[in-house]
Chain A
């Protein structure tokens, strides 16, 4: 019985193997990604359309789990000698990928070698800046980008007679009012506590998070986010946490349900939250720019991105690289970018796609989808707002979260917590610097 099954399976394997192998000299391109649901459909459609548009290359998308899983799978596959051609890596993995000289093929080099037309200027600088060297060379190809926005429950705000806040002091006042008017457990809250309250806060106020342009200019960077702005901000959160005018909602986005359920009427998180809000919220909502401190000169600056980019892995043949380059050109097409933007809610990555969506009146119905773009392009990016490139960012964020939690729980002062977060983070950065390929 078992043997017969085995025979059948072997026969099947042989037939499949024969039908797929050579004959047509199609070069296969493996694309590992971390998209689920509607976004997975977008990926499949992109691959199918590309495969139908020509007959030399075949892009095969494979879902590999969440962002961290996909990255770990890619690293493990590389160590075993069979990495995919294209790998979707979230923004916090950027430094790790970049440090792996030889493991990755920089996109600007790939495009030049494959002879593809490639002008980095057509992409939105606020997005590409994150994935480029300080000389403007694009290392990875931006794919899905988002930014932090402030989601507001318009119905509850109206009920409590609160205007949509623009600055942090206004936000705190609004939260107090909400807290006293039917929201005793949450005046305002947010996800990704370090992203919102350290990383974006710093960029938005043109204050450094770390030296060397937040790590973009070298791995010998030192954390600097224990300055007056960040300390003042955390102190305020600690104070408001006491009576739940602010209520901490965790390190990741597990607390987002508190907005859609109506518990929190003001909630800071990624613009990519829009799919869930749209599907679940039974109230009028909007996403507005992050608040700022008006006493900081020049604020607000511009926000930085979240999301992921596509990294091309090293050690593949010239023919394969040609296919990858063609695929990236295919993705850059204006109509295609408009499609991705509309279908996923992530940002368009080219200027032309943004202009087109605007011209079509897309943002009239869905103004919240333009908010992250307005934030990103608010001002010309500076050293402090171009992006972040810190090694071991996933773990760094956990360490920073640990310290922020200590402060919110009243075990440390805001200053002590941030000093300790900087100190512990620096140890990890030095460790990363030691292992980075020179």
Chain B
């Protein structure tokens, strides 16, 4: 099947896409280009003295072994956040999809947390798990657990991953639920008649039919984990203890906004941008093959 619109005038199609293109150029490409330019400059916070330094900002970054650690850590965090929030959301969606009394209420309640801004999520979890402020932390300590994410890097990392994943569960849940409801019931009935048990029905029917949704969410979640988590990190750990929760995007934020080092911050954003482009490319090139539309 092929779709082809016929335009009388050669200019009309261009005129029709022009507004969209303008928006994309002004709000996406222009700032991106600015970041690239800024990454070649050395500038003070006030923009009073500017010098062109070629690739110095990049060279400095790659000379720093800590930067590689940050890259590895970011990939680990993103993977952990994406996998945990996707699997948990899928579990919830499958359960909420069952014919239950009051299922609308469950669904609504599950969607709500999506409206919470990342820094608020951070503060929320702080109130539960901060070693001196947290309510849950007090119980944990009372139960004999040495809970101290201020000094234990693994606990801090776990805290960030859980909070960031939690924030994304609602969003994933929404898509999964819609995806599940789009699967015709007759397919399940046929499988049930053939004697397939629920788990088998899920893996052989639901999962493949849901694969486009899963794939879309995988991309979205990885981009989320890469870019949108600095608010959570800033409110919860500020990158500590040590550097155990510094991710690439948090480093961009802290170097640029806290440190006023715009050149290096811009160079890091450019690297981040390239990484996400490559990552998304890989996903579409290789993961998408497993997707059946």
**A interface residues with partner B (beta carbon < 8 Å):** 68, 72, 75, 78-79, 96, 99-103, 185, 241, 248-252, 254-255, 257-258, 263, 392, 394-395, 398, 401-403, 405-406, 408-409, 411, 428, 431, 434-438
- Are the CB atoms of B132 and A257 closer together than 8 Å? yes
Most chain A CB within a 10 A radius of its CB, from B132, B239, B243: B132
Chain A residue numbers with a CB within 8 Å of B132 are 249-250, 254-255, 257-258, 263
Shortest beta-carbon distance from B173 to chain A in Å: 32
Bound-state CA distance A436–B46 (Å) is 10
- Are the CB atoms of A434 and B242 closer together than 8 Å? no
B189 interface residue, CB < 8 Å from A? no
Chain A residue numbers with a CB within 8 Å of B48 are 100-103, 437
Bound-state CA distance A254–B122 (Å) is 14
Shortest beta-carbon distance from A397 to chain B in Å: 10
> What are 29 A-B pairs at a CB distance below 8 A?
A68-B257, A75-B45, A79-B47, A96-B260, A99-B44, A100-B46, A101-B48, A241-B151, A248-B151, A249-B150, A254-B126, A254-B133, A395-B254, A395-B255, A395-B259, A398-B240, A402-B240, A405-B151, A408-B151, A409-B153, A409-B241, A411-B242, A434-B42, A435-B42, A435-B45, A435-B49, A437-B44, A437-B49, A438-B49
From B46, B47, B152, B259, A409 is in contact (CB under 8 Å) with B152
- Which residue of A is nearest B261, CB measured? A431
- Are the CB atoms of A103 and B151 closer together than 8 Å? no
B258 interface residue, CB < 8 Å from A? yes
B130 interface residue, CB < 8 Å from A? yes
Q: How many residues of B contact A (CB 8 A)?
A: 31
Chain B residue numbers with a CB within 8 Å of A251 are 238, 240
Shortest beta-carbon distance from A104 to chain B in Å: 9
Shortest beta-carbon distance from A351 to chain B in Å: 34
Chain B residue numbers with a CB within 8 Å of A401 are 240
Chain B residue numbers with a CB within 8 Å of A254 are 126, 130, 132-133
Chain B residue numbers with a CB within 8 Å of A436 are 44, 49
Chain B residue numbers with a CB within 8 Å of A403 are 242
Bound-state CA distance A309–B240 (Å) is 29
Bound-state CA distance A395–B261 (Å) is 10
The answer to whether A78 and B46 touch (CB under 8 A), given A395-B254, A402-B243, A409-B242, is yes
From B151, B239, B259, A394 is in contact (CB under 8 Å) with B259
Shortest beta-carbon distance from A74 to chain B in Å: 9
Known: A254-B130, A405-B151, A406-B242. 4 other contacts (CB 8 A): A78-B47, A248-B151, A250-B150, A251-B238
B200 interface residue, CB < 8 Å from A? no
Bound-state CA distance A99–B47 (Å) is 12
Chain A residue numbers with a CB within 8 Å of B238 are 251-252, 398
- Which residue of A is nearest B149, CB measured? A250
- Which residue of B is nearest A241, CB measured? B151
> Mostly helix, strand, loop or mixed at chain A's interface?
helix
Bound-state CA distance A248–B243 (Å) is 16
- Are the CB atoms of A428 and B259 closer together than 8 Å? yes
Chain B residue numbers with a CB within 8 Å of A255 are 132
Q: Mark B204-244, 1 if CB is under 8 A from A, else 0.
A: 00000000000000000000000000000000001111110
- Which residue of B is nearest A72, CB measured? B257
Bound-state CA distance A370–B277 (Å) is 59
The answer to whether A185 and B257 touch (CB under 8 A), given A255-B132, A402-B239, A405-B240, is no
Bound-state CA distance A434–B42 (Å) is 8
- Which residue of B is nearest A184, CB measured? B141
Bound-state CA distance A251–B238 (Å) is 9
Bound-state CA distance A68–B254 (Å) is 11
Shortest beta-carbon distance from A68 to chain B in Å: 7
- Are the CB atoms of B260 and A75 closer together than 8 Å? yes
Chain B residue numbers with a CB within 8 Å of A101 are 48
B168 interface residue, CB < 8 Å from A? no
The answer to whether A409 and B151 touch (CB under 8 A), given A68-B258, A398-B258, is yes
Chain A residue numbers with a CB within 8 Å of B170 are none
Chain B residue numbers with a CB within 8 Å of A99 are 44
B85 interface residue, CB < 8 Å from A? no
Shortest beta-carbon distance from A84 to chain B in Å: 14
Chain A residue numbers with a CB within 8 Å of B259 are 392, 394-395, 428
- Which residue of B is nearest A411, CB measured? B242
Bound-state CA distance A255–B148 (Å) is 12
- Which residue of B is nearest A410, CB measured? B151
B43 interface residue, CB < 8 Å from A? yes
Chain A residue numbers with a CB within 8 Å of B133 are 254, 257
Bound-state CA distance A262–B48 (Å) is 49
- Which residue of B is nearest A406, CB measured? B242
The answer to whether A100 and B151 touch (CB under 8 A), given A395-B258, A409-B242, A437-B49, is no
Most chain B CB within a 10 A radius of its CB, from A100, A263, A402: A402
- Which residue of B is nearest A392, CB measured? B259
- Which residue of B is nearest A438, CB measured? B49
Shortest beta-carbon distance from B62 to chain A in Å: 14
Shortest beta-carbon distance from B52 to chain A in Å: 13
- Which residue of B is nearest A249, CB measured? B132
Query: In residues 257-293 of chain B, which contact A (Cβ within 8 Å)?
Result: 257-261, 264
Chain B residue numbers with a CB within 8 Å of A398 are 238-240, 254, 258
Chain A residue numbers with a CB within 8 Å of B44 are 99-100, 435-437
Bound-state CA distance A205–B186 (Å) is 81
From B141, B242, B255, A405 is in contact (CB under 8 Å) with B242
- Which residue of A is nearest B246, CB measured? A402
Q: Mark B140-179, 1 if CB is under 8 A from A, else 0.
A: 0100000000111100000000000000000000000000
Shortest beta-carbon distance from A131 to chain B in Å: 18
- Which residue of A is nearest B50, CB measured? A435
Bound-state CA distance A270–B47 (Å) is 33
Chain A residue numbers with a CB within 8 Å of B243 are 402
Chain B residue numbers with a CB within 8 Å of A406 are 241-242
- Are the CB atoms of B141 and A185 closer together than 8 Å? yes
Chain A residue numbers with a CB within 8 Å of B43 are 435
Bound-state CA distance A100–B151 (Å) is 37
Bound-state CA distance A96–B258 (Å) is 11
Bound-state CA distance A354–B243 (Å) is 43
Bound-state CA distance A101–B258 (Å) is 20
Most chain A CB within a 10 A radius of its CB, from B45, B49, B239: B45
